[in-house]
Amino acid sequence: MKQNPIVSLSEAIQNKRPAVLATVIEVKGASPAKVGAQILMLEDGMTVGTVGGGKLESAILEEARIILTQGSPRLIHLSLTEEGSDAVGTLCGGEVRVFIQPFPAAPQVVIVGGGHIGRPLKVMAEVAGFDVIVVDAEPGRADVPALDPIHLTADSFVVLITTDHVSDEAALRQVIDSPVHYIGMIGSRHKCSTILEHLRADGIGDEALARVYAPIGLDLGGPTPEEIAVSILAQVIAVRRGGSAARRSQTTDREHAA
């Protein structure tokens, strides 16, 4: 029994695996592809379904690889001819339009410290669409008991909010050389600068240390754990999206519309 691309897509999303779905939406003239034909490609290159095979399918999959990496959907036009900007190198003579939709894995927030700030931050980050992992030695407030940098990626955001500076520094040392997009560490300016100087003295370069947001969060003025959690999540989102974290009322109309 042949696998269904939509069923496989659902499984990929449930298993937090990136995927991209290509759907033929228009066909003119002779073509091995039919309207409604779909092919799914997973991050490891495995495919489910078909859009006609041959050079046409190869061209569509090549576009799918690019779109899976870039993360933006596209409508593409391909000509089943030997020459031309959209040509795929066949003699059928037809044309097809294909909509390619990426389904990237959710960005990951790793909260090291599941205490009074970590708990509301987990809830808020999940609502905002992040895959959240809480690391804590105390089982009752953790998803995992220990930090594992091996599984951190460029789409991971690490929040260090343990109960003491020793644990924060130890965790920072574990993640400082990882490819994560963001590292935030809680504490006073004095505590944070002291820890950063410890790492600098041990040979950690300024480029790596520049990724550390310490003290963590935006200055929203709220002192409660829930308000601090909001300020942390706001900073994570600003870093991920390239936002300035400026007041919306002070941005231009174009920035506001975006």
The pLDDT, as a whole number, for residue 104 is 87
3-state secondary structure of 84: coil
Residues 6+ away with beta carbon under 8 Å from 82: 89, 90, 91
Residues 9 and 67 in one domain: yes
Read off the amino acid at residue 11. E
Domain boundary among 103, 120, 138: 103
Domain tally, the chain? 2
Residue 1's pLDDT is what? Answer: 40
256 within a domain of the structure (yes/no): no
Instruction: Dihedral sign for Cα 191, 195, 201, 203, please.
Output: negative
pLDDT higher than 70, residue 257: no
Is 191 a domain residue? yes
Answer yes or no: do 122 and 237 share one domain: yes
Tell me which of 46-60, 128-142, 168-182 is least confident. Answer: 128-142
Residue-level pLDDT at 132: 94
Q: Which of 11-25, 129-143, 186-200 has the lowest mean pLDDT?
A: 129-143
Residues 206 and 182 in one domain: yes
Are both 50 and 174 inside the same structural domain?
Answer: no
Is 70 exceeded by the pLDDT of residue 258?
no
- Nearest-angstrom CA–CA distance, 192 and 200: 12
Residues 118 and 77 occupy one common structural domain: no
Quote the percentage of the chain above a pLDDT of 70: 95
- Which pLDDT belongs to residue 163? 87
- Quote the domain boundaries for residue 63: 5-103
Region 19-41 average pLDDT = 92
**Does the pLDDT at position 234 exceed 60?**
yes
Q: Is-contact 174 147, C-beta < 8 A?
A: yes
Q: What mean pLDDT is reported for the chain?
A: 89
